[in-house]
Amino acid sequence: MDIQKIRKDFPILSREVNGRPLVYLDNAATSQTPQQVIDSIVSYYHGYNANIHRGVHTLSQEATDAYEIAREKIQKHFNIAKSHEVIFTSGTTHSINLVANGFTSLLKEGDEILVSAMEHHSNIVPWQMLCERTGAVLKVIPMDHKGELEMDAFRALLSEQTRMVFCNHVSNALGTINPIEEIISAAHAVGAAVLIDGAQAAPHMKADLQELDVDFYTVSAHKMCGPTGVGILYGKEEWLTKLPPYQGGGEMIAEVTFEKTTYADLPHKFEAGTPNICGGIAFGTALDYLNEIGMEAIANYEDNLISYATEQLLAIEGLKIYGTADNKTSVISFNIEGIHPYDIGTILDKLGIAVRTGHHCAQPIMDFYKIPGTVRASFSFYNTEEEIDVLVEGVKKAKQMLA
């Protein structure tokens, strides 16, 4: 991988922040956007901005074709059997809410649904709301201090009452890569459906959704070099057929009368209203960009980066890393004894270094470790060891100033 060439694709990486070269290490929150993706957004608005699926005119047909080609790119990238199993959404949060809403009519009082202890709030709250609506019970798959799920406890929680299991593929707060193959097969053995939140995994590894045999998988484009406000829900055809529509409106109907409305076929049944057309198209361009570099090359490069960063950071006295799973990627969550993470983040910003501080929308994890939050440095394939050196020096300086 020619990192210097890759970095030139990202205009933002050459800007300065507070008089210093930007060191962007908040990739788990959102990734940066290569010129190729920016160009695809510009060319849409320059050349063929129009509403899709409903116009006979040329612009509308061009926009429809580009949007549907993007759906096929996504289908191919994740090895999805049918393009109508790809539902465009505004991102992972929307995707999970769509499924949680759909299960309202499929669950009854006493049914059990299992969620892992290391979820983002968007993979917790919609299920709590579902439990309130249905009387189903939410049970938690515990984790240990390394930030790994306790798989024996998970197996013990599974029973004939278990209807669904939810887990992230990669934890945004700890970087743990969860053993989703085992989770999916154990859940299927008791007849439960599985939703995997792939928001944090998709930028770093290619999930083969047919091989995984997962029922639902969610992705946000903005974490993988695409724009904000667009993502997908993958659902197996049989599940998407069973679930009722989430929102009513234009695009999602077959026929509307005041007596009775019938719904469109997949994927349109779940795509009410005018979507983020340009965003969907640009998501396709982002996947082209990543695939040109190669997801395997990206994973290998990032593995080296995180090993280097872990080693360098641990050399700082008093620094503790949360999440030391054997299988992890691209996230280092840490604190320095006696210093609030927010204070470290503020000093790092003064030095041009962007990290995230706080609970990372995963408060239960912070409660588990009995901490208010962490400093999170999260890496992408366009980061370098030199940037990690700048981070390490910055953390040392923050420690000196604050201790």
Long-range contacts at 19-24 (CB < 8 A, ≥ 24 apart):
19/352, 20/351, 20/352, 20/353, 21/352, 22/352, 22/354, 23/351, 23/352, 23/353, 23/354, 23/387, 23/390, 23/391, 23/394, 24/354, 24/380, 24/383
Nearer to ligand PMP, 33 or 92 (CB): 92
Among 40, 64, 97, 200, binds ligand PMP (CB under 6 A): 200
Q: How far is the CB of 92 from ligand PMP (least distance, A)?
A: 4
Site for ligand PMP in 170-189 (CB under 6 A): 172
Site for ligand PMP in 264-293 (CB under 6 A): none
Length of the chain: 403
Nearer to ligand PMP, 376 or 399 (CB): 376
Cβ atoms of 174 and 331 closer than 8 Å: yes
Residue 92 is a binding residue for ligand PMP (CB under 6 A): yes
Nearer to ligand PMP, 32 or 168 (CB): 168
Among 33, 80, 91, 177, binds ligand PMP (CB under 6 A): 91
Question: Binding segment for ligand PMP among 87-95, 150-158, 238-246, 331-339 (CB under 6 A)?
Answer: 87-95
The HSE-up count of residue 275 (CA atoms within 13 Å, CB side) is: 31
Q: How far is CA 370 from CA 135, 322, 337, 365, in A?
A: 30, 11, 13, 8
Nearer to ligand PMP, 64 or 276 (CB): 276
Long-range contacts at 67-70 (CB < 8 A, ≥ 24 apart):
67/275, 67/277, 67/280, 67/281, 69/281, 69/284, 70/280, 70/281, 70/283, 70/284, 70/285
Catalytic residues: 361
Question: Binding segment for ligand PMP among 194-202, 253-261, 319-327, 337-345 (CB under 6 A)?
Answer: 194-202
Cβ atoms of 25 and 378 closer than 8 Å: yes
Nearer to ligand PMP, 48 or 283 (CB): 283
Question: Binding segment for ligand PMP among 39-47, 196-204, 344-352, 377-385 (CB under 6 A)?
Answer: 196-204
Residue 220 is a binding residue for ligand PMP (CB under 6 A): yes
Cβ atoms of 138 and 163 closer than 8 Å: no
Ranges of beta strands (E only) in 236-295 are: 253-256, 261-263
Among 77, 120, 204, 399, binds ligand PMP (CB under 6 A): 120
Q: How far is the CB of 306 from ligand PMP (least distance, A)?
A: 16
Question: Binding segment for ligand PMP among 85-93, 185-193, 251-259, 265-273 (CB under 6 A)?
Answer: 85-93
Site for ligand PMP in 123-162 (CB under 6 A): 123
Question: Binding segment for ligand PMP among 120-128, 138-146, 345-353, 380-388 (CB under 6 A)?
Answer: 120-128
Nearer to ligand PMP, 231 or 245 (CB): 231
Residue 377 is a binding residue for ligand PMP (CB under 6 A): no
Q: How far is the CB of 276 from ligand PMP (least distance, A)?
A: 12
Nearer to ligand PMP, 134 or 220 (CB): 220
DSSP sequence for 65-124: HHHHHHHHHHHHHTT-S-GGGEEEESSHHHHHHHHHHHGGGT--TT-EEEEETT--GGGT
DSSP sequence for 147-180: S-B-HHHHHHH--TTEEEEEEESB-TTT-BB--H
Residue 199 is a binding residue for ligand PMP (CB under 6 A): yes
Number of residues counted as binding ligand PMP (CB under 6 A): 13
| Interface residue list for ligand PMP (CB under 6 A) | 91-93, 120, 122-123, 168, 172, 197, 199-200, 220, 361
